[in-house]
Structure 1
Amino acid sequence: MLLMTGINGGTPISSDVRISNGTVCPDFTTLRVENHGKNPQGPSTGFRGDMTIERYEVRYFRSDGRNTEGVDVPFRITGALAQEIQEESAAVVNLEIVRRQAKLEPPLSNLVGGGQAQVVTMFAEVTIWARSTILTTTNSVSARIQIDFADFVDTQTSCTVP
């Protein structure tokens, strides 16, 4: 059974729509993912219980109910992953949670230079899909995290990429 037990260590993400020199940087985060058997008292299934995460999706939404993609929130994104998690173990997975393109389009581009709002708080729902080594697709697993978007005052001059 695949579990997502943490995003970004449980800390909200502060996403700068432009750094000090005007560069647009993506935002990355970490997911803590665990793989446990459905029956904790059952025998180990060996490699047959191992999982490989293959893809992810990030969907954004707001608490005020305004959730039109490209108007109120960024468009959802999908991506490929390749991370094995052995049975009865955990792994930390890095992924891009906000792409550069999202910061070049409304509503995030509206924040540049103080735009229509100082800070916009959104939530990202991250969903991952995995398969077992015997090619059985598992159920997807999801978790959510808060992201605060703004054109923060900073001195950063280059993007931080893990």
Structure 2
Amino acid sequence: MVRQPAKRDPEAEGRSRRAGVGKVCTMVCVVLAAACDTAVRSGESAVEIVVDRLEAAPAGSTTYTTVLESDVLTSGTPHADLGRIVLRARLRDPGSSDAPTAPSAMNVATLTRYRVAFRRSDGRGVEGRDVPYAFDGSVTVTVDESATPIGFTLVRPQAKLEPPLRTLVGRGGASVLSTFADVSFYGRDARGRTVAATASMTVHFADWEEP
């Protein structure tokens, strides 16, 4: 018995092709929409974060300086050293002298986290051996064109219980570990674009003699 070829249904084939094209179009639209959203959020912000000042106070002190002498043991206990940074948001395109760009409510940035990392001038930088471990912290501060001071932890008390800082205990000021602390703040502007600012300061660790 010879089988007869199946009859073609042009209308059904047309529906199938249209459905396939519709799926492809939908996928393309979704991809393009996602790409556009990513482009908007990762594009360059209209503002930049400017660091006016970075300073810190040793444990138990309220005096802030631009160079920190961190005591690894204060009154027999490790305490945190506090930092303070002054930030402001500045327009990337201020306009011309004849037609300056005026800041608006959209020209602000909200900072949500910061990171502190330590390094040495001799290039040795193994965390937990040569320098304290880097760490992240959380903040919620909105910055505009006015100078905004932000307090944060620069040296954690836990770091003073770990190498290399704990090896300084009992040695007095005769044994000093000199480092640079790189402090970075991150956030987004009012349009959702990322912003960041980084500053550095010198930190000398030792078991300093207490007054």
TM-score, normalised via structure 1 length:
0.87
Looking at structure 2, the residues matched to 80 and 135 of structure 1 have their Cα atoms a distance apart, in angstroms, of: 18
| Cα-to-partner distance string for 1:100-120 (whole Å, 9 max, x where unaligned) | 1110000000000008x6111
What is the CA-CA distance between 1:47 and the residue it aligns to? Answer: 1.3
Looking at structure 2, the residues matched to 95 and 149 of structure 1 have their Cα atoms a distance apart, in angstroms, of: 18
Aligned length: 151
Looking at structure 2, the residues matched to 48 and 10 of structure 1 have their Cα atoms a distance apart, in angstroms, of: 33
The residue number in structure 1 matching 2:127 is: 69
Choose between structure 1 and 2: higher strand proportion.
Answer: 1
Choose between structure 1 and 2: higher helix proportion.
Answer: 2
The residue number in structure 2 matching 1:151 is: 207
What amino acid sits opposite 1:114 in the alignment?
A: R
The residue number in structure 2 matching 1:52 is: 110
The residue number in structure 1 matching 2:156 is: 99
Give the secondary-structure state (helix, strand or coil) at the position aligned to 2:78.
Answer: coil
Runs ≥4 residues deviating over 6 A? none
Query: Which of 1 and 2 has greater Rg?
Result: 2
The residue number in structure 1 matching 2:81 is: 27
What amino acid sits opposite 1:98 in the alignment?
A: V
What amino acid sits opposite 2:73 in the alignment?
A: R
Residue pairs, 1:108-147, within 5 angstroms: 108-114=165-171, 118-138=175-195, 140-147=196-203
Looking at structure 1, the residues matched to 169 and 117 of structure 2 have their Cα atoms a distance apart, in angstroms, of: 22
What amino acid sits opposite 1:137 in the alignment?
A: T
Question: Does the aligned pair in 2 maintain the 1:36–1:89 contact within 8 Å?
Answer: no
What is the CA-CA distance between 1:10 and the residue it aligns to? Answer: 6.1
What is the CA-CA distance between 1:6 and the residue it aligns to? Answer: 1.4
Amino-acid identity (%): 34
Unaligned stretches of 5+ residues in structure 2: 1-47, 56-63
What amino acid sits opposite 1:24 in the alignment?
A: P
